Chain A
């Protein structure tokens, strides 16, 4: 079972609409949580990095929330654009001892249609 699970697996929305992507994790102890955007054929690009003490962080039309108690995060995209079509990946940093690794979710594939 993946320690970082994302939903939905894929999503189609119309241009201009809002959407929210979910990330649930079981990684513990937890250091930080990141959201990445990966365009087709490209490497991932960081959108936000949040520590356990941060509840909300925005980056333009992207707003990430984090509830460290329930181990849930969401990424909200406002007024979607065609260029938002990509895979959005949730990544959690495992802070257990010397085994500090990034645990990658499988991503949500978002398609924004005109």
Chain B
């Protein structure tokens, strides 16, 4: 059964720092991997989607990489800002039948000014 783990569970950094959030998954047979942001009491906002054939995707200050063979993805945030404070969720879509996204429990990021 596919499992997704995100470490650390919480992270505090000063404004301006570059940081990396980690996501690992147990089964390398995936269709895609998606990173989301969730603000307290709010829904999920899609940040980046990486298809299984891709190695990375970039959007603004965000860069996500995917290493399927090792079961890992990283989300790199450059020049962090207080507005980046949120919970970041990683989700994989398994390669076998079924369309459920399997979510990690998230990393809660706090960026202080």
A and B, one complex? no
- Chain B interface (Cβ within 8 Å of chain A)? none
Residues in A lying within 8 Å of B, measured CB to CB: none
